[in-house]
Each structure stands twice: as C-alpha cells, then as structure tokens.
Amino acid sequence: MRGTHNESDAVDHRPPLILGGPSFHDVTEAVASPLERPPTRGWWLYFLPSVGLLGLLGVAVGWLFFEGVGVWGLNNPVGWAFDITNFVFWVGIGHAGTLISAILFLFRQKWRTSINRSAEAMTIFAVMCALIFPGIHVGRPWVAYWMAPVPNQMGMWPQFRSPLMWDVFAVSIYGTVSALFWYVGMIPDLATVRDRAHGRRRMIFAVLALGWRGSMRHWHHYEKAYLILAGLATPLVLSVHSIVSMDFATSQLPGWHTTIFPPYFVAGAIFSGFAMVVTLMVITRRAFGLEHVITMKHFDYMAKIMLVTGMMVGYAYALEFFIAWYSGSAYELFAFKNRAFGPYAWAYWTMVSCNVLLPQLFWFKKVRSSLTWLFALSIFVNIGMWFERFVIIVTSLHRDFLPANWFMFTPTFWDVATMLGSFGLFFTMFCLFVRFLPIVATAEVKSVLPQAAAHARTAPRVELEDADALPSASRLARAEAE
Amino acid sequence: MALLRPRLPPSERFGALAEFATPAALYRACEGVRDAGYTRWDAHAPFPVHGLDRAMGLRASRLPWISLVLALGGAATGMGLQGWVSAIAYPLVISGKPYFSWPAFVPVTFELAVLGGALGAVFGMLALNQLPTLYHPLFGSARFERASDDGFFISIESWDPRFDAERTVELLRRLGATEVELVAS
Amino acid sequence: MSGPSHDPAVPAAELRASALWLPAGHPWRRLPGIGLAMAAAGLGGSLAFGLADPAARTQLWHSWLVGALFVLSVALGGLFFVLLQHATQAGWSVVVRRLAEHAMATLPFLALLFVPLLFGLGDLFHWSHADAVAGDPLLTHKRPYLNVPFFVLRTAAYFAVWSALAIWFGRQSRLQDRSGEHETTRRLRRASAPGLLLFALTVTFAAFDWLMSLDPHWYSTIFGVYFFSGSTVGILAFLSLVAIAARRAGLLSEVISAEHLHDLGKLLFAFVAFWAYIGFSQFFLVWYGNLPEETGFFAVRLSGSWRAASILLAVGHFVVPFFFLLPRTIKRHEGALAAASGWLLLMHLLDLHWLVMPNLHAAGISLGLLDGAALIGSVGAFLAAFGWSLRRSALVPIGDPRLPESLLFENP
C-alpha cells in the first residue's frame, strides 16, 4: 500500500506529497510512536561514536585553553585556518534549515513540511558548533566577554566597526531566532506527544507545550507569528552569511576583497546546508520508517536546489577569476593563479570537482532518484564546501603582497581533532533530538494532506475553441476595417 | 498569561464540547455558530484549518504591529548604541573612518531589528494567546485528547449570554456534531 | 454555462478562449501605432538635435543608452520571470505569465534600438580610442576584452541568445494555446534551467560591457547581479501596472484577482529589498576597503548634486517602497500597488541614469531635452513591440494545464 515513489510528472495537478493516503492519526502515529519506544540498536550505533567525538572535542578545547593557540598550526602570516574554516562551514550548514523553514514557507512550497523540523534542528546544532570556533580561537578566551557591549570598570566598549563584532551579533541573533522559530513551530507537536504520554513524561511535555489546546483563536495569532518569523528569518539568513563573508570582504587582501562575496557566500551556505539535510534525511527516514513522508519527490526538489545553488557558486568562481584578470591588478591575478597552481592546488581542485563538476550529475533524473548517489554526492558537496572556505582563507593569507612574508600552513593533530570533535557535537545533538522530540512537523504535514481542505472550489472550465473561432490578427484587422 | 489556570468566573459548568468528523464539517459548523450570535466560543483542531478564522468571524491579529514596533525599537537601539559607543563613549580612529561610521553600523542595526521583531512576534503571540496556561477545563474531557491528533471540536462557554444547556447542544447537533458533551468547570 | 461572476472570490464557471483575446476596437489595439509615433518623435528628435555638434552628440549617446537600457532591463526581466515560473513549476502566476511573455517578445526589436549606439561607441567608451589605450597600461591590459570588434560581437551574441530564448519560449506557449498539450509544459520546464544559466551569463557580461566599462578602470564582481536586481524590480513593477491597467480596461477582470496582485506585490517588495541588499553590499565593501581603484565610482556619485541623487535613490528605491509595500492591504489594493509600481519604475530609471551619467557629467546631475527625447523614443519602441505582441495571441496562456490552479489561487 505504501509506495515510495511519487514522481508522476503530471502537470495539471499536484501529485500527493505524502504517500499511501494516511489519515491524520496515521501521521501522528508515524512520528510520535518512535519516541515512546526505547531507542533502537541503530540509534546507539550513531550516538555512541558521536559522543566519543564530542569527548574528543572536549579534550581538544581543554588542551587548547591550557596550552594556548600555539597547539594549532597557525603562524604569521596564516593567522586563520581551520578555526575560521570550521566557523564558516558550520554557519553555512545552518542556513539550509532556515531556508527550508522560512523561505520555502514564504514560497508556499508544501513539500517543506516533511523536513523542516529536522532541518531547523540541524540549524540550531550547526550554529552551536559554529559559535565554538570564534570563542576558542581568540587566544585569551577568559576575556571574551569584552565583546559584550556592557559598561565595565575599564570604561571600555567594543569596536563596532569590526566585522568580527558584527559576527558576534549576527550569529548569536541567528541562533536565538532559529531556536525561537524551531520551538514555536514545535508547540503543537509537543501537545500531540503530551496527549499520548503518561506520568512524568506527560508532565514534561505538558510544560513544554505551554498548555496548547488546538484553539483556533490561538492558531489565528500563531499563524501570524509563524509568518512574521518566516518573513524575518529570510533576510536574517541572507544577512548573517553576508556578514560572515564580510570578515573577508572588508579587508584589502587579494582573493578576499571582492563585492560579490555576500550573495556568493549565501548561495554556498544554502548549497552545503541542503547537502547536510540530504545526508541526514537519507539515514533518518529509513531509521524511522518515514519513507512515505520524506519521499523521493522531496529529494528531487532538494537535489534541484543543490544544483541551482551549486551553479551560483560556480558562477561566482568564474566571475572572480574574470574580474581578477579584468582588474589588471597583479596581486589579484596572482592570488587566483596561486589557488589553481600553487602549493594548495590539491585543495583548490578538490573544491572545484566537488562543488562545480560533481553536482552537474544532478541534471540527471536517474541520479536524483538514487538514494546512493544522493547520499554520496551530498557528502562530496560538503567536503567541497569545507575546502572552499579553506582555500579562500589559507591561500590568500599564505601568499599576499610581500613575498618575504610568504609561508605555509600545515594543520596539527589538534586542528583536525577540534574539527572532528565539532562533528561529534553536531551528531550527538541530532541523535538526542531524534530520540526525544518529534522529528517531523506533524501538524504542518496534516495540514497539507488532501483531507485537510475545509472548502473546495471548482476551477472554471477553459474552452479551447477551434482555430477558426479564435480571432487572428488578420481577421480582427479586417473586421475593424469594415 | 495565566500560568496555571485560565481566568474564568466561578461556575459549575464550563460549557459544551462538540466533536466533528472532518475539517469541512467543522468549517460549516463554525459558520453556523458564528451566525447564531455566540461570542464566547472556540474551535479546536490539530492544525489550522484553512479559512476557519473567517468562518469564525475573527478579526485580523494585531501581532504584526507589535512585531513592527519592537523591530523599529531594535533598529533604533542598534544605531543608537553603536553611535554612542563609537562617537561619544569610546571613540577610536579605525582606518581613518569617521567616528559615526553609519555604513559600518548597518549590520548590527539590522540584526537587532530582526531580533526585536522576532521577540515581538513570539512573546506577543504568547501574550495574545495567554500562553502558557497549563490547565484548562477542556482537558477534563477524555475525548478532547484527540484535538491534538485527529479530532475537530467546537467548545461554547457557559458564560456566553446565548448559552442554554439544551438549546446550545441541540444547535451543535443540528450543525453536524457527531458527539456533544457538557464539560465541568 | 453561466455569465461572468462579479464576486472576485468566485471565478466564473467557464471561460471561453475567444473572450481572452484583445477585442476588436479596444483602445489597446492602438498601442503599436502610438509606440511607433513616440519612437519616431523621440528617437528622431534626439538624432536631429544630438548629431548637431560633438558636445550634443556625446550627450545624445549617453541619454540614448539610459533610455535603451531602461526598456531592455524590463524586457530582460520579463524573460527571467518566464524562465523562473517554468523552472519552479509555479501555479499562481499562469494568469500573468503571458504579459511577461509579451514584455520579453520585445527583445529582438530592442536589438534595433542598440544599433545606433554602435555608432556612438567612441563617445561612450574611453577604451575605444586607440591613443587613449596606448598611453594607459591598464587599458592596454584590458584590450583583449575591451576592443570594438569583440564588443560588437558580444553584444550581437547577447541579443541572439535573448531573442532565441524569447522567441522559443513565447512560441511554445502560444502553440500550447491551441493544443493544450501537457508535454509542452514539461518541455518548457526542462528548457528553462539551461535558459536561466544562459540568461545569467549573458546579462552579467552585458552589464559589464554596456555599463561597467563606461568607467574602464573600475570593476566590481557583483555588478552583474546589481543590474539583474534592478531589472527584476522593473519587470515586477511593469507587470503589476499592466495587470492593473488590464483589469481597469475591462480585460482579464475575471481572471486576475487581488490574490495575483498580492503575489506580485510580495515579489516586488522582496526584490526591492534584494536590490537594496546588493546595492549596499557593493557600496559598503568599496567604502570599507577604501582602495583608490574602487572608490572612484562612489566618490563621483557622492559629490555635488550626485550626492542628493544617491540619497534619493536609497530612500526612494528602498526605504519608502519597503515600508509602503509592507502591509498586506496595500499589496491587494489596485491603486496603491499601481502607485508603488509606477514610482519604482521611475526609481529604476533613476538607478540607470545614476549608473551612466556621472561618466559624462561628473560635477552633478544635468538633465536636458535629449534625456527626455531618448526616453520617450525608447519607451515608444518598447510599447510598439509590446503592443504588437499583445495583439497576436491570447492575453493568458489558455492552454496551460495549470491555468485552472492559477484562477483559483488564494493567498492563505
């Protein structure tokens, strides 16, 4: 009864998003019942290694605080490398969640309802991972509070003309608003879980659900709040990664200072974020038996979005290269030659293959319909996007204006350990999320089922008349002349 | 926001609770209850049924205004804070830019505007909905649990001037309710 | 079979295709004639005045460029709108898509508008003078790209690509009017993706060629995106105006509803914000980096009376329309949306003027007869081609399988 393919190419009606014609109760059951059972062995298989990596993160950060930033491979001139690469990488991944929640909501894309809850959760966890890096890389983390604009005994205030200050506000506000959006969206689903629960579990969910009782008067304000949050989160997504890009673009370094960075970074963020959503959803839908809710059609759309944003990234690469030549600036042109043919060329070509070449496979329906290809390509895209940030940061720093100042960056064990550890944080949080909270926006999915419509209208019949009955230009002109 | 119980006048009975089979049935019934002149009533559904606020005669929500005011407040705070810090409290000459470098203040100003708007939307919504309200008489009905699963309900409070135990129940049955019960307070 | 329903929320039970053509004797049938008259007067007049002496000639070509780019950007916006609606398989927009198709149908004709400009290359572009290039190492470096033959070839290529796309997509849509074939919709969807790719590349380099190289020492990687963003504001404003005018003129009143206007209004709002985002990104990064090779562009535009123009652009193209288009009721109100659209078209013109004219009038704004004449002429040419296209097919894509969905469309 449950098909897993809904890719009928019909154009006069919209194919069903949720397969198998489930009832409202079926949807509740599908999402809420895994939460009521003890976790499966598969869950432990993901959770325990993630916690292990999280432990590694703890050790790496602890050692960093104890010994200092010298445990990383940073030097003069390469003052930023893995730390900021990871920061931008994680912030970028978070953006897909907001795009799915907010922007696709504004575009009335109903297919988002199957994945938006998990994507929003992914955003929050990605932002958590992102915020670690600026915090720990400052060298004197015990005075990180100096960045807060609060009166203090030194009469000192932050320097607001620095993009690093803007990052503090942008990323923390992004985390806050994303968390609010995620939580508010979850309230009705928490009520659903509450009403099925017993004892202490019921009390916890009752408090979290704030006493929600499905009141239409409440839904009325709730829907407005959701729309406003979506309308605010959209420019927020654009602004946050633009501000992150300004960490580089406001400088004067060749390869960094170029006006296209803001939209280019945003496109890249959405690209890598969707790749991560695909990676997570391929596993999650199988683990929770939700293949009829997160269908191949959903992957088809996500693959197409990846294709579009990947091409935007490719467009930016091409333009940067063209303008580097066009500008006539020897430094700018050298920066790009160095990327493609210098000592980090291996990183550059990995980036180009993973971000520009491989995603071209998404033109093919066969690739978009294959879970294996989707999973593999999503991982390659994220590898490529990690390398993009690495290439941008390190190649511009390690060889800038003065050849006497040129040097190489080599990562140390602790660079890599911190990076891997951040994945541990991310996957640990995600495992906890799928264990305890409803991973699909149940109320929203119910509202896009066909039986949710309260009043149907019939469309007018459009009569396509004979060619003879239709006025042609000449016939009308003749009629006018008579 | 009434944290534990809603603010209702003391009474024996809360009102009538009617269940309906489908969203369409609920929609038609809401129009009926609205047209019958009831004011203290509500509909309940596991998701917002499209068009139901019109069927109930609800006025447009004031939430956008709350959000806008707080957003503008956030923007003003952003520009004001940065301007004061950079031009008055702790002026620093940074790469030759003027003290009040308004272009450089745009990012933080924008972010604070968004934060203001978001806080306005969320807490404004909670305030307008008087949430959290952890207890409500309707939770006393066993059937009402389905409101968050697949049930569609109308509840009419006994404090409504037109409420009458028999006539209200009869109206709800006429409007297509599959079950009607009287809920204690 | 029932007659037209007067309740906009309830569409008619049946629509006959013949009712969706421009009726015989309707005033809009005269658009091509009116447009040609405007073009003759405006362009003819400009040529007459402009070719008189060298100073006037330089002014002529700059004014002509602004006028031509104004209508070209709207036509290109139409092409983008059509490609995008096909790529995203949108349902709501079917009732307005044909109007955008008519806008893009003008593209082959606008090529003719650019032909006279080829005679003005010497007056417009510093890099077209061999002696100037010889004495300037930067221009010498750019010569493989900035030379007249390659420039002309590129312009021809852009128009060839745009015309091919406009003609093919328009024709497929018109064929579907007769056939109602579903496969056409699929074909258009599949073709729209490569179409968008070609669009992005050609529009970017056209903007570099015709606008950015006016100051050949300056460069900005985001410039193509900036031109695109203004062009999209232009088409959305134009579509809103035409849709509202069509309703007022007794056409399409049962077809285009407040719901569709609301969506056009939402898109207009969004792209006004997008334009501001791109424009600010460009300005801000140049301001912050403070590199002499980049700041010249803004230094000119922030001195003299250009400063006031820049402020007007920021306030009039962004701040005011942003707050004006924010409320839901405004976007659904014909008069308000029409006023906003008209204003934004004016602001888009100011944007193009602001991009071009400081190269000629560095001291400050200097508006003259030639500006007006060239604008009237260009708009006339556009209206003539638009009006011609309007007459030869139905006003909505009546064979589109998603037309019923579009007719029933309701904003939540």
Give per-residue pLDDT as tens, A331-381: 999 999 999 999 999 999 999 999 999 999 999 999 999 999 999 999 999
Helices (H), A197-295: 199-208, 216-249, 261-287
CA gap A282, A285 in Å, rounded: 6
Q: Encode pLDDT of A1-48 as tens digits.
A: 344 456 567 888 888 889 989 999 999 999 999 999 999 999 999 999
Residues B119 and B81 in one domain: yes
For residue A447, the distance in angstroms to the closest alpha carbon of chain B comes to 6
Question: Is C145 within the bounds of a domain?
Answer: yes
**What is the per-residue pLDDT for C13?**
66
Residues B34 and B69 in one domain: no
Rounded to 10°, the helix A163-196/A82-98 angle is 50
Statement: residue A477 has pLDDT above 60: no
Per-residue confidence band for A466, with pLDDT thresholds at 50, 70 and 90: low
Question: Is C306 within the bounds of a domain?
Answer: yes
CA closest to A248 among chain C residues: C285
Subunit contact B103:C290, Cβ cutoff 8 A:
no
The ipTM is 0.95
Q: At B179, which CATH number?
A: 3.30.70.2750
Q: Encode pLDDT of C154-171 as tens digits.
A: 999 999 999 999 999 999
Cross-chain CB nearest to A216 (options B43, B90, B97): B43
Question: Is C5 within the bounds of a domain?
Answer: no
CA closest to A328 among chain C residues: C138
Q: What percent of chain A has pLDDT over 90?
A: 84
Question: Is B113 within the bounds of a domain?
Answer: yes
Which domains are assigned to chain A? 39-448 (1.20.1630.10)
Q: Which of A454-458, B89-93, C42-46 has the lowest mean pLDDT?
A: A454-458
Residues B76 and B113 in one domain: yes
Residues B68 and B112 in one domain: yes
- Coil/strand/helix, residue A197: coil
Q: Encode pLDDT of A60-113 as tens digits.
A: 999 999 999 999 999 999 999 999 999 999 999 999 899 888 999 999 999 999
CA gap A379, A272 in Å, rounded: 9
Total count of domains within chain C: 1
What count of other Cβ atoms lies within 10 Å of the Cβ of residue A307?
A: 19
Statement: residue A463 has pLDDT above 90: no
> C54 CB near a chain B CB, below 8 Å?
no
Subunit contact C284:B50, Cβ cutoff 8 A:
no
Question: Is C62 within the bounds of a domain?
Answer: yes
Nearest partner of A177 among A233, A241, A225, judged by Cα: A233
Cβ-based contacts of C285 with chain A (< 8 Å): 246, 249-250, 257-259, 261-262
- Coil/strand/helix, residue C253: coil
Per-residue confidence band for C309, with pLDDT thresholds at 50, 70 and 90: very high
Residues B112 and B165 in one domain: no
Which residue has tokens 């939700």? A290
Question: Is C265 within the bounds of a domain?
Answer: yes
**What is the per-residue pLDDT for C1?**
36
CA closest to C267 among chain A residues: A107
Statement: residue A124 has pLDDT above 80: yes
- What is the pLDDT of chain B when averaged over all its residues? 92
Residues B71 and B120 in one domain: yes
Cβ-based contacts of B106 with chain C (< 8 Å): 280, 284
Statement: residue A405 has pLDDT above 60: yes
Average pLDDT over residues C364-381: 95
Residues B82 and B30 in one domain: no
**What is the per-residue pLDDT for A8?**
67
Contacts of B48 by beta carbon, 8 Å cutoff, 6+ apart: A216, A219, A220, A222, A223, A447
If DSSP states are collapsed to H, E and C, what string results for chain B?
A: CCCCCCCCCCCCEEEEEEEECCHHHHHHHHHHHHHCCCCCEEEECCCCCCCHHHHHCCCCCCHHHHHHHHHHHHHHHHHHHHHHHHHHHCCCCCCCCCCCCHHHHHHHHHHHHHHHHHHHHHHHHHHHCCCCCCCCHHHHCCHHHHHHCCCEEEEEECCCCCCCHHHHHHHHHHCCCCEEEEEEC
Q: Encode pLDDT of A142-200 as tens digits.
A: 888 888 999 888 889 999 999 999 999 999 999 999 999 999 999 999 999 999 999 99
Does residue B2 contact residue B141 with C-beta atoms inside 8 Å?
Answer: no
In this prediction the pTM is 0.94
- Is C53 exposed, middle or buried (CB count within 10 Å of its CB: 0-12, 13-18, 19+)? exposed
Average pLDDT over residues A450-470: 72
Q: Encode pLDDT of C67-116 as tens digits.
A: 999 999 999 999 999 999 999 999 999 999 999 999 999 999 999 999 99
Query: Could you tell me how far CA B48 lies from the centroid of its own chain?
Result: 12
Q: What percent of chain C has pLDDT over 70?
A: 97
Contact map slice: C 275-294 vs B, CB within 8 A: 280, 283-284, 287-288, 290
Total count of domains within chain B: 2
Cβ-based contacts of B68 with chain C (< 8 Å): 326
For residue A13, the distance in angstroms to the closest alpha carbon of chain C comes to 7
Average pLDDT over residues C391-400: 91
CA closest to B97 among chain C residues: C288
Q: Encode pLDDT of A256-303 as tens digits.
A: 999 999 999 999 999 999 999 999 999 999 999 999 999 999 999 999
Domain that holds residue B71: 63-128
Average pLDDT over residues C269-293: 96
Subunit contact B103:C288, Cβ cutoff 8 A:
yes
Subunit contact C290:B96, Cβ cutoff 8 A:
yes
- What is the pLDDT of chain C when averaged over all its residues? 93
Residues B39 and B67 in one domain: no
Cross-chain CB nearest to B106 (options C280, C290, C412): C280
Question: Is B142 within the bounds of a domain?
Answer: no
Subunit contact C145:A326, Cβ cutoff 8 A:
yes
**What is the per-residue pLDDT for C14?**
74
Domain that holds residue C47: 26-407
CA closest to A240 among chain B residues: B111
Question: Is C11 within the bounds of a domain?
Answer: no
Statement: residue A472 has pLDDT above 70: no
CA closest to B54 among chain C residues: C412
For residue A377, the distance in angstroms to the closest alpha carbon of chain C comes to 20
Nearest partner of B146 among B49, B45, B52, judged by Cα: B45
Question: Is C10 within the bounds of a domain?
Answer: no
**What is the per-residue pLDDT for A480?**
47
Over the Cα atoms of chain C, what is R_g? Answer: 22
Subunit contact B95:C412, Cβ cutoff 8 A:
no
CB pairs under 8 A between A and B: 214
Per-residue confidence band for C5, with pLDDT thresholds at 50, 70 and 90: very low
Question: Is B162 within the bounds of a domain?
Answer: yes
Question: Is C20 within the bounds of a domain?
Answer: no
